[in-house]
Amino acid sequence: MNRYQYIFWISLFFFTGCRNLPNTSSFDVIVVGSGTGAVASALQASEAGAETALIHSLAWYGGMLTSAGVSATDGNHFLPAGLWGRFRDALYDHYGGPDSLATGWVSLTQFEPHVGAQIFARWVKEANHLQAYRGAQWTAVRRVGDMWEVDLTTAAGQVRTLSAPILIDGTDLGDVAAAAGASFSVGMDARTDTEEKWAPEQSNDIIQDLTYVAIVKDYGAGNAPLLAKPKGYTPEEFACACRHDCADNTVVDCETMLNYARLPHGKYMLNWPNYGNDYYLNPIPLSHEERLRAYTAAKEQTLRFIYYLQNELGFDHLGIADDEFPTADGLALYPYHREGRRIDGLVRFTLDHLQHPYSVDKPLYQTGIAVGDYPVDHHHDKNPEAPELSFPPVPSFTIPAGSLLARDMPGLLMADKAISVTNLANGSTRLQPVILQVGQVAGLLGAMAVEEGVEPKELSVRKVQQAVLDAGGYLQPFFDIAPDDPDFAVLQRIGSTGLLIGTPEPYKWANRTWFYPDSVLLDTELKAGLDRRQIAVDLKVSAQAVLRAQARQWLRAIAHQQNISDDWVTNDAAWQAALPDIDPAFAEWETESEEPITRREWALLLDYLWDPFAIEIGWDGRP
């Protein structure tokens, strides 16, 4: 072989066989991003047995909960669903219980960011089937055949390519999906596009303000590191952050402002929207380097705010904490992005779905995989071009499974804020406990698709939902059914069929949906549930309690309509024999009892004798 032949064959091997070279690795699932959802999806995918890679550019895992410093959590105190509940339990173990975290008035769960980072780091280290590339930068993504490829540069400077059938975007801004060529929305939607009457008439590219968070701590009088006067500082910029320099008597006093996000161990999170350290910037179209330069101005906003606290308000015992973030300036590792791109998903979750889940045209609530209870909250004070928006009160809500799946990109899943929601709905779906769940379910979807050898959109919605329940998640945001309720899974399943629905209640900053499991079941409720499933039975209703004997009549009518042929429909002995298996308390039932049944009992009967949850539905909630 001469020199030229040698060069030819080496070149041919390089260009055709590069995916088999040592710098290329194959996985089942690749998660890219440093958001809260990224680590959640990687942990869950690996826990489900999928060989998983996590490409993560920052030193800490946890996204907005840790790296961005937003450690005063918003919402879901009474909905400890999935990985959110596990994370909170780990915080309880670290600090000694719930009371140790209820330190500020904005939340009942507040912690030091570095503690959250330690929890996530431990979980990543203990995870099987997970290869974490911490400190790595991804440089390109592409679809090659039925696989995704991601190029990255490791923290040690090595250039590598990873491949997998499933790619999960765990970035705050939807950067991976955009690089892959997926379609998405940015900014405020037009009313004619989303049919939300609360949306502006014209669309725009305005997103919510971001915040560069700082953690300050009490060093004691005379011991705090005081800032030099920042360039461009004027006290008027922060005059109405609290009542000190403000003529508006509705503004909170300064101690109340400070205690907004008081953390354990004498620390305070600075994420104050009112004349505080919110900052308007749209980083979406910027390159990585351009973003870093632009974020400097957001940092300066926060430094000016700290100077104001120290010098105008007299909080000179407070200084930037020296034991929190591993950064040169002591500020968060990266900014708190409230909004970025929003993917074009299989379904789009709107404010109408959030506000009126049971009456909109598509019953997306029946496909629920994550829950939240936070109201619609947008930050636009720092952008004078932002139109005035108002928001209706909303109940607690459930995220539809199809909002995690990119419509036009096979094998692409979303794990963070860039799920398929409208701009208005993003004000509720963007919060930390919700995104932990969303990320967890993205990991489940990816692992299940690989195991079954199908595209995620080909998965059974009901099978996905059952996997969510098995992982400790919620399908429906029922306030009055705790995870330790022995019938929790049954009530979640029946609630997801629409045969029994909740009662929505907007309530302050922790909205609710009541199931009332132990209330007497009315025949009108029963009939309405059947109507929602388009099941016609020839029995009259009169807004009266359903008696045990009548419940069996309804079940017989359902069995006839649904062609169910079980013995319990017609055979009294079979009916009596089945009752104790459904619930031991049912052993006391008499065949023709005149006792009223409860909603819980009806749900148990339906789940055991009919199993309507097994009837498959589409991603839009319809059969």
Q: Are residues 161 and 35 in the same domain?
A: yes
32: nearest Cα among 124, 127, 158, 162: 162
What is the spatial distance between Cα 505 and Cα 435, in angstroms, rounded to a whole number? 22
Q: Are residues 467 and 495 in the same domain?
A: no
Cβ–Cβ contacts within 10 Å for residue 213, how many?
A: 28
Q: Dig out the tokens for 392 from the structure.
A: 């209706």
CB burial of 494-517 (b: ≥16 within 10 Å; e: otherwise) equals bbbbbbbbbebeeeeebbbbbbbb
User: How high is the pLDDT of residue 22?
Assistant: 52
107 inside domain:
no
Q: Dig out the tokens for 194 from the structure.
A: 């989303």
Contacts of 177 (CB under 8 A, 6+ apart): 169, 184, 341, 343, 406, 409, 412, 414, 418
572 inside domain:
yes
97 inside domain:
no
| CA angle in degrees (0–180, nearest 5) for 532-538-543 | 70
Contacts of 411 (CB under 8 A, 6+ apart): 143, 146, 148, 165, 166, 167, 449, 455, 456
Q: Are residues 51 and 169 in the same domain?
A: yes
What is the spatial distance between Cα 375 and Cα 360, in angstroms, rounded to a whole number? 19
Q: Are residues 177 and 58 in the same domain?
A: yes
568 by DSSP, 3-state: which? helix
Q: Are residues 223 and 243 in the same domain?
A: yes
Q: Dig out the tokens for 6 from the structure.
A: 């040698």
Domain limits for position 152: 23-67+114-186+342-378+392-477
385 by DSSP, 3-state: which? coil
As a dihedral over the C-alpha atoms of residue 193, residue 195, residue 196, residue 200, rounded to 10 degrees, the angle is 40
Instruction: Tokens 């070149």: give the residue.
Output: 11
What is the spatial distance between Cα 601 and Cα 585, in angstroms, rounded to a whole number? 10
Q: Are residues 159 and 49 in the same domain?
A: yes
47 inside domain:
yes
User: How high is the pLDDT of residue 392?
Assistant: 97
Instruction: Tokens 């039925």: give the residue.
Output: 146
What is the spatial distance between Cα 611 and Cα 550, in angstroms, rounded to a whole number? 19
User: How high is the pLDDT of residue 8?
Assistant: 32
C-alpha count within 13 angstroms, C-beta hemisphere, residue 132: 27
What is the spatial distance between Cα 39 and Cα 597, in angstroms, rounded to a whole number? 44
275: nearest Cα among 231, 327, 313, 314: 313
- Strands 29-32, 52-56: pairing is parallel
11 inside domain:
no
Q: Are residues 406 and 445 in the same domain?
A: yes
Q: What phi, psi does 229 have (nearest 5°)?
A: -60, 120
What is the spatial distance between Cα 557 and Cα 559, in angstroms, rounded to a whole number? 5
Q: Where does a domain end: 425, 448, 477?
A: 477
Tally the domains of the chain.
3
Q: Show the low-confidence residues of the chain (pLDDT under 70).
A: 1-22, 591
Q: Are residues 356 and 497 in the same domain?
A: no
Instruction: Tokens 């305070």: give the residue.
Output: 268
- Strands 412-414, 166-169: pairing is parallel
**CATH number of the domain that residue 175 is part of:** 3.50.50.60
483 inside domain:
no
Q: 50 near 29, Cβ under 8 Å?
A: yes
Q: Are residues 221 and 298 in the same domain?
A: yes
2 inside domain:
no
536 inside domain:
yes
Q: Dig out the tokens for 490 from the structure.
A: 């049954």
Q: Are residues 294 and 362 in the same domain?
A: no
Q: Are residues 225 and 150 in the same domain?
A: no
Q: Kindly report the pTM of this predicted structure.
A: 0.95
Q: Are residues 473 and 444 in the same domain?
A: yes
With both helix axes pointing from N to C terminus, report the angle between 599-609 and 488-495 in degrees, rounded to the nearest 10.
80
Q: Where does a domain end: 477, 511, 538?
A: 477
